């Protein structure tokens, strides 16, 4: 897959640690990109289906899902549905995804399923960005996302053990780079749930920036209750409360990511 200006930039939102803000980031970053005029697709690759629910596609209303596309039972184009946000499309998840590891265990193309679907340029070139919301695991689903992606967005929760687990994630990335996807990069690491009343958040930020440097986005996502309320209304926080601190931060993250994309493409 070539990363030309006409093709979408494909980003996996991944961290095998649970509850660090992957889905919140995928939904609100995607909305920020769409609202900035970049047509965006979010692929829900997590059997939990939280990105789908949070974008007004509850489990009992999903028809064609990521599972159907990955198993070849439906075309990816038929699985794409509109979200409440203009320019923002969704491929919803299904709980069936949790069995995919076993179902595909004997197939030698099992890690390339998503990459093959997204290499259909007639289908994907109308998008500027494709975000993949990964499950909290380094299983075949996350590996499929890494094989399909140009970059990874890693949400990192501002807590004491923030950096733990990152080594494992980075070694999986390295494995994928050396085998199936040499172009894969970490697009950036995004600090989430930053609590400015808590000294620990500031310490974690300092620690992470010292250790990891420029790969950490300048934007930090604050802990903000509006971000956690929005999914129960089936809408992104950027729509539910566009002016809350969380929405402002995700808009700023979207702009930062867009400027990284143009730097990457110019390089």
Minimum gap (Å) between residue 226 Cβ and ligand ATP: 8
Pick out residues in 120-139 that bind ligand ATP (CB under 6 A).
136
Q: How far is CA 80 from CA 12, 130, 149, 155, 244, in A?
A: 18, 12, 18, 25, 29
Token representation of residue 119: 């290499």
Distance in Å, CB of 64 to ligand ATP, minimum: 22
In this complex, which beta carbon is closest to Mg ion, that of residue 23 or of residue 53? 23
Least CB distance to ligand ATP at residue 184 (A): 20
Backbone angles phi, psi at 84, to 5 degrees: -65, -5
Instruction: Tell me which of 11, 16, 20, 22 binds Mg ion, using CB under 5 A.
Output: 22
- Of these, 31, 35, 40, 50, which contacts Mg ion (CB under 5 A)? 50
Residues 6+ apart with CB under 8 A from 167: none
| Residue from 50, 181, 248, 261 in contact with ligand ATP (CB under 6 A) | 50
Give which of 105, 102, 114 is closest to 41, Cα–Cα. 114
Strand ranges in the chain using DSSP code E only, listed in sequence order: 9-13, 40-44, 81-82, 88-91, 129-133, 151-157, 185-194, 216-222
Answer with the entry of Mg ion, ligand ATP, none that 65 interacts with (C-beta below 5 to 8 A by kind).
none
Buried b (16+ CB within 10 A) or exposed e, 172-184: bbeebeeebbeeb
If one asks whether residue 142 binds ligand ATP (CB under 6 A), the answer comes out as no
- Report 162-191 residues binding ligand ATP (CB under 6 A): none
Nearer to Mg ion, 22 or 62 (CB): 22
231, 53 Cβ separation under 8 angstroms: yes
Nearer to ligand ATP, 19 or 175 (CB): 19
- DSSP H stretches of helix in 58-154: 66-70, 76-79, 100-103, 113-118, 121-124, 140-148
- Compare residues 23 and 94 and give the one whose CB is closer to ligand ATP: 23
From ligand ATP, Mg ion, none, which one binds at residue 150 (CB under 5 to 8 Å depending on kind)? Answer: none
Using CB under 5 A as the criterion, which residues of the chain lie in contact with Mg ion when the complex forms? Answer: 22-23, 50
Using CB under 6 A as the criterion, which residues of the chain lie in contact with ligand ATP when the complex forms? Answer: 18-24, 46, 48, 50, 136, 192-193, 221, 223-224, 227-228, 246
């Amino acid at each position: 897959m070539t990363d030309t200006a006409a093709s979408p930039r494909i980003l996996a939102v991944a961290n095998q640690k649970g509850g660090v803000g992957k889905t919140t980031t995928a939904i609100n970053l995607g909305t920020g990109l769409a609202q900035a005029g970049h047509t965006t697709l979010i692929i829900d690759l997590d059997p939990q289906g939280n990105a789908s629910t949070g974008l007004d596609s509850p489990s009992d209303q999903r028809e064609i899902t990521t599972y159907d596309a990955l198993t070849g039972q439906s075309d990816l184009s038929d699985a794409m549905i509109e979200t409440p946000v203009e320019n923002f499309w969704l491929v919803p998840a299904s709980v069936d995804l949790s069995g995919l590891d076993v179902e595909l265990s004997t197939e030698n193309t099992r890690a390339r399923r998503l990459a093959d679907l997204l290499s259909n340029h007639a289908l994907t070139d109308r998008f500027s960005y494709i975000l993949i919301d990964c499950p909290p695991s380094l299983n075949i689903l996350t590996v499929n996302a890494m094989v399909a992606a140009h970059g990874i967005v890693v949400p990192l929760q501002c807590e004491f053990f923030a950096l733990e687990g990152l080594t494992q994630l980075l070694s999986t990335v390295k494995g994928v780079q050396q085998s199936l996807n040499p172009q894969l990069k970490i697009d950036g690491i995004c600090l989430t749930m930053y609590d400015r009343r808590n000294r620990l958040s500031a310490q974690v930020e300092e620690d992470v920036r010292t250790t990891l440097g420029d790969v950490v986005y300048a934007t930090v996502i604050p802990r903000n209750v509006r971000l956690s309320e929005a999914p129960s209304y089936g809408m992104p926080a950027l729509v539910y409360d566009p002016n809350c601190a969380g929405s402002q931060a995700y808009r700023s993250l979207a702009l930062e990511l867009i400027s990284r994309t143009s730097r990457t493409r110019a390089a």
